Amino acid sequence: MTLEDRLTQDLKAAMLAGQQQRVMTLRGLKSSLLYAKVAQKSPRDEPMADEAVLELFAREAKKRQESAELYTQGGSPEKAETELTEKAIIEEYLPAQLSEDEVTKLVDRAIAELEATDVSKMGQVIGKVRAEAGMTADGALIARLVRERLNNK
């Protein structure tokens, strides 16, 4: 079963269960998928590759996180909570994220393999870690850890 099929089934189940927040979030995801298909000039009835769907869902989750942070800064905690709830629903479709310790180990290994000694190699190290971790590690976390490690050398 493709991720698109799973999304459709989950949407139907949420509608039958009367879970309004979940229905709204899943409809938004379906809409994002449709926009992506139109932008790529792909047929609407053909499913997208699961990797492309995962990338789209990861972007949507990141948008929700950024919105929640802005709402929190703006003094709207209830709106921030709504965004975080949507993010949690989206993350059900994403692979589990690596812990900071696991990402740190990947960063340390990449730095050793590339023999990086200063910040000038930061892009190469980040690229290597992202290639290994894929979608299981947050890019901002990787960048922060690489910068910290290379600045301390």
CATH number for the domain spanning 72: value is 1.10.1510.10
| Residue 31 pLDDT greater than 70, yes or no | yes
| Residue 16 pLDDT greater than 90, yes or no | yes
Residue identified by tokens 């932008």 is 39
**How does residue 43 score in pLDDT terms, banded at 50, 70 and 90?**
confident
pLDDT tens digits, residue range 69-119? 999 999 999 999 999 999 999 999 998 888 899 999 999 999 989 888 888
CATH number for the domain spanning 147: value is 1.10.10.410
Residues 105 and 85 in one domain: no
Residues 44 and 17 in one domain: yes
Contacts by 131-140, CB closer than 8 A, 24 or more apart: 132/106, 133/98, 133/103, 133/106, 134/95, 135/54, 135/55, 135/58, 135/94, 135/95, 136/95, 136/96, 136/97, 136/98, 137/97, 137/98, 137/102, 137/103, 137/106, 138/97
Residues 40 and 111 in one domain: no
Residue 120 is given by DSSP the state G
**Residue that terminates a domain, selected from 57, 74, 91:** 91
- Regarding pTM above 0.75, the answer is yes
What residues make up the domain containing 25? Answer: 3-91
